[in-house]
Amino acid sequence: MTTSPDRTRFRHLLTAEWIKLRSLRSTPWALLVSALAIIGANVSAAVADYTDFPSYPASMRADFLSSALFDSFTDLASQLVMLAAGSIGAIIIVSEFSTGLIRTTFAAVPNRRAVMGAKVIVLSAVMTGYGAIVSSISFVAVQAILAGRSASAPVSDPHAMRVIVASTLLVPVCALTGLAVGSVVRHSASSIVGTVVVLLLLPLLFVSKQAWSAAIKRSLPHSAWYHLSAEQLAGPMNGIPTTNVGAWAVFAAWAVAAAAVAILAPNWRDV
């Protein structure tokens, strides 16, 4: 069975994008440092609960499952993910614009959408793997600590896998958002600031008191992650509960929209 030239060419694009991603000196260090910070934030929360557990009310100690799951990937860890993954996504495209490498790439491969499509796929794969590693290590480490108080959550718990998967997928969603912002803005500092505004600051601007504000807040990645990771703590917004299906749909919509912007942006203006 022969392989079509177009398919071979796109496979070459995937290889090229992988080489460019791993050749960035900042990428391995950014992944390593952010992973240590994220895992450290989760472990710190578990250690605090381990220390304070004897002083908790009996009712809280008897029903510690939701807290044990939330310690596996805390709100602070999610904010670190949004900052790190979003910045990495922005940098991998902005670095090409700043060095002029993108002009060479588009000269060699005039199909800009194919180039950006390959970049989206490689970034999504790498960041999903990174998210899976970090969230899995966090879960195992946190539950090992809490097991000392007989307050751990088993991985077989029906909510445990949802916490791990949601925390894993938050990473590529944020990375693709950063890639989209970087593809449009094309300047390092402005792209990172724009990514931080979209991912970190927007959730703070909308409250749950008004229906329209609550609707916008529910449609943001952090709110979707929070519902999936801490359903017992999240509660309804403006009396309107967020469903699991709705939260997963938010993740999917942001990923698709960010990928579309990243792929189409180079066709809107010259490089």
Give me the percent of the chain exceeding a pLDDT of 90: 54
| Structural contact between residues 168 and 138, judged by C-beta atoms closer than 8 angstroms | no
What is the reported pLDDT for 242? 66
Answer yes or no: is pLDDT of 122 > 80. yes
Q: Which residues contact 33 (CB under 8 A, 6 or more apart)?
A: none
What is the reported pLDDT for 270? 65
Min mean pLDDT across 7-16, 49-58, 167-176 is at 7-16
Report the mean per-residue pLDDT for the chain.
88
What is the reported pLDDT for 6? 52
Domain boundaries, the chain: 5-268
Answer yes or no: is pLDDT of 116 > 50. yes
Residue that wins the pLDDT comparison between 254 and 57:
254
Q: What is the largest CA-CA distance in the chain?
A: 69
**Residue pLDDT, tens place only, 210-261:** 777 888 888 999 989 998 887 655 444 444 456 888 899 999 999 999 999 9
What is the reported pLDDT for 70? 87
Q: What is the pTM of this model?
A: 0.89
What is the reported pLDDT for 232? 53
Q: Please give the average per-residue pLDDT across 161-180, as a whole number.
A: 96
Q: 187 phi and psi, to 5 degrees?
A: -125, 135
Cα angle 143, 145, 148; round to 5: 105
Min mean pLDDT across 31-35, 84-88, 152-156, 179-183 is at 152-156
Residue that wins the pLDDT comparison between 97 and 176:
176
Instruction: Using DSSP, state whether 240 is helix, strand or coil.
Output: strand
The CA distance from 171 to 169, in Å, is: 5
Answer yes or no: is pLDDT of 79 > 90. yes
Min mean pLDDT across 16-30, 39-53, 76-90 is at 16-30
| Structural contact between residues 74 and 40, judged by C-beta atoms closer than 8 angstroms | no
